[in-house]
Amino acid sequence: MKDELTHNTFNHSDKRESEGNIEQPIIEHEHFEDYDPTRDLPNYHSPSTDLLENFDAIFSTNKVIETKEIIANILRAKHIAIQSIEVTVGYTNTLYEIIPQKGFRINQIKRLHADLSFHLSTVNLSIEPIFDRGTIGIIVSNKEQTILPIRSMINSNDFVNTIYELPYRFKTLL
C-alpha cells in the first residue's frame, strides 16, 4: 500500500522469543516520502465559482438588527461608550463585535452577561475579547440555523487570501 505513510512488512527470517517461548515476528517499518498531490497534476486549476448558483443568505436581517439595537441600548443604559457594533452571521451563532472607546475595560461588558441573556432571551451567550482586533465579541446562538450560500463564502476575502491550503470559513459578514 504505497499511499500510506508507514508500511509494515513481516520478515519471516527475523523471529524472537518472548516470555512463554512464543515466537513473535519482528515488524520493520518502511517510511515513504511526504505525498505532494500537486506533483501529479501540474496543470490543474480549481474550477471557477461561476459554476455555483448565486443564492442570497437566508436569515432574518430584522432579527439581527433588532439584537444589535438591544445590545447597543443596554450598553448605553450602563454608560458604556462604544464606537460601533459589527455583525457577523454564522451558521449556528452570530457574532456582535463591539469596537470600544478608548479607556474601556472588558469587565464592564462581562458584568452585563445576565442582562444581555435576559433581554436577548437566550442562555447561550458568550462575551469574550478578540485580542488580535482589539474588540469585544458577544456571541449569540441563532434561534434557527442559518443557511449560508457556499459561493459567497468561497468568494470572501478571508477564504481567497488565506495562508492555508484548505481554507475553512462558515460565516458571513453583514
Burial of residue 140 (number of CB atoms within 10 Å: 0-12, 13-18, 19+):
buried
Tallying the residues shown for the chain, one arrives at 174
Count of Cβ atoms closer than 10 Å to residue 4 Cβ: 10
Q: Contact at 8 Å (CB) between 57 and 147?
A: yes
Domain ranges of the chain: 51-56+147-173, 61-141
Widest distance between CA atoms in the chain: 82
Grid cell 449560508 in the structure block, residue: 148
Choose which CATH entry (3.30.980.40, 3.40.50.300, 3.40.630.30, 3.30.9.10) describes domain 61-141.
3.30.980.40
Per-residue pLDDT of the chain (174 residues; tens, 9 = 90+): 444 444 444 444 444 444 556 676 666 667 777 777 777 888 877 788 888 888 776 677 888 899 999 999 999 999 988 999 999 888 788 999 999 888 778 888 889 999 999 999 988 899 999 988 889 999 998 887 777 777 877 777 777 777 777 665 555 554
CA 97 to CA 87: how far, in whole Å? 6
